[in-house]
């Protein structure tokens, strides 16, 4: 049984969660620092009724240097606690200038992100919420490593690489959602589909490819978005409707890439193109990025 103290909660003899400091916060979860044995960890706390059992099964199936490591899951009366590898920042922290530490080179960072997503897809899962807040940066000795995180809305994909949206509809972070998902979301909001994705519309792992292409551009430019002209402030809230419109209408703005970053422009264009069937699969993305690593 958990025991509360002044700074936090002792979940087990080995695991303590420091609830006096928040590392991150989402719609249904908070992330706190903690300790497991002698190691610093991150602990994600979710109300039990909001916990997706697939998150646990997905993370247990994954084992890759560019995917956040899962250590343990602890069930309490009201909350589920997921004990995870702790990192130093999110990509969005880096883009906002809140993290000024080391990051991999542009070529290496993009390759690592693709390598992590390739591992997730190879295990038969769609992530469904790839965004600049869900790709983390971890300092390991003299190296910085990119880690894909947050599997709270993941789903298993079929042999056709699709998955049902029955029951939960469209999930993800709006500025990084593929156009086919935004159209579905808008149709629900406009009451054209009152079943929230239950009308036969299926998600596809190519949704993740689109999202990752947007993260690539955000990482490379630090202040841009591939569907907005010029500088995009750290909060997307004031321009969210414009981003949605530009994504749905395929109004791309990739002029923010520097001379040394043009190696990625053609790839990003293909990853964020509106026809999901024409987006490259993640193993092809990884292969192309690998060819640039030593250039």
- What are the residue ranges of CATH 1.10.510.10 in the chain? 89-292
Residue 218 clears pLDDT 90, i.e. is over it: yes
134: confidence class by pLDDT, cuts 50, 70, 90? very high
Asked if the model's pLDDT at residue 184 lies above 60, the reply is: yes
Q: Is residue 148 predicted with pLDDT exceeding 50?
A: yes
State phi, psi for 128 to the nearest 5 degrees: 80, 0
Under CATH, domain 89-292 is a member of which superfamily?
Answer: Transferase(Phosphotransferase) domain 1 (1.10.510.10)
DSSP 12: S
Local structure of 146: helix, strand or coil:
strand
32 and 23 Cβ atoms separated by less than 8 Å: yes
Tell me if residue 84 falls in helix, strand or coil: strand
How many angstroms separate the CA atoms of 88 and 136, rounded? 7
User: Could you tell me which of 199, 124, 192, 193 has the C-alpha nearest to residue 163?
Assistant: 124
pTM of the model: 0.92
Contact assessment for residue 66 and residue 146, using Cβ atoms and an 8 Å cutoff: yes
**CA nearest 42: which of 172, 138, 131?**
138
Which DSSP string corresponds to 222-288? SS-BTTBSS---S--GGGHHHHHHHHHHT----TT--GGGGGGHHHHHHHT-S-GGGSPPHHHHHHH
Would you state the pLDDT for residue 3?
A: 60
Structure tokens at 64: 């890759």
| Alpha carbon distances (Å) from 98 to 95, 154, 222, 261 | 8, 28, 11, 22
For residues 256-281, average pLDDT: 96
Is 198's pLDDT higher than 50?
no
**CATH 3.30.200.20 residue ranges in the chain?**
3-85
pLDDT at 157 over 80: yes
Query: How many angstroms separate the Cα of 268 from the Cα of each of 66, 92, 122, 161, 253?
Result: 20, 18, 21, 21, 11
Fold of 3-85: Phosphorylase Kinase; domain 1 (3.30.200)
**Token code pair at residue 137:** 């940066």
| Percent of the chain whose pLDDT exceeds 90 | 78
- Single out the residue of 235, 234, 240, 173 nearest to residue 207, CA to CA: 173
């Amino acid at each position: 049984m958990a025991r509360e103290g002044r700074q936090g909660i002792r979940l087990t003899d080995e695991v303590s969660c420091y609830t006096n400091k928040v590392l991150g916060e989402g719609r249904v979860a908070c992330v706190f620092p903690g300790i497991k044995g002698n190691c610093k960890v991150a602990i994600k706390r979710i109300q039990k009724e909001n916990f997706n059992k697939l998150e646990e099964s997905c993370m247990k199936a994954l084992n890759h240097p560019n995917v956040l490591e899962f250590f343990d899951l602890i069930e309490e009366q009201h909350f589920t606690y997921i004990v995870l590898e702790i990192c130093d920042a999110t990509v969005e922290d880096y883009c906002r200038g809140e993290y000024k530490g080391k990051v991999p080179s542009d070529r290496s960072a993009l390759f690592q992100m693709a390598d992590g997503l390739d591992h997730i897809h190879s295990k038969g899962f769609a992530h469904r919420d790839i965004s600049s807040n869900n790709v983390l940066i971890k300092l390991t000795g003299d190296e910085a490593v990119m880690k894909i995180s947050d599997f709270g809305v993941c789903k298993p994909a079929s042999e056709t690489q699709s998955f049902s949206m029955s029951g939960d509809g469209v999930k993800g972070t709006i500025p990084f959602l593929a156009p086919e998902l935004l159209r579905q979301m808008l149709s629900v909001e406009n009451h054209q589909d009152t079943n929230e994705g239950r009308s036969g519309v299926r998600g596809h792992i190519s949704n993740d490819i689109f999202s990752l292409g947007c993260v690539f551009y955000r990482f490379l430019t630090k202040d841009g978005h591939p569907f907005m002209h010029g500088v995009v402030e750290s909060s997307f809230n004031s321009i969210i409707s414009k981003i949605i419109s530009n994504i749905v209408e395929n109004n791309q703005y990739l002029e923010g890439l520097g001379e040394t970053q043009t190696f990625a422009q053609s790839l990003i264009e293909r990853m964020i193109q509106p026809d999901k069937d024409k987006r490259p699969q993640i193993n092809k993305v990884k292969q192309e990025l690998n060819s640039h690593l030593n250039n």
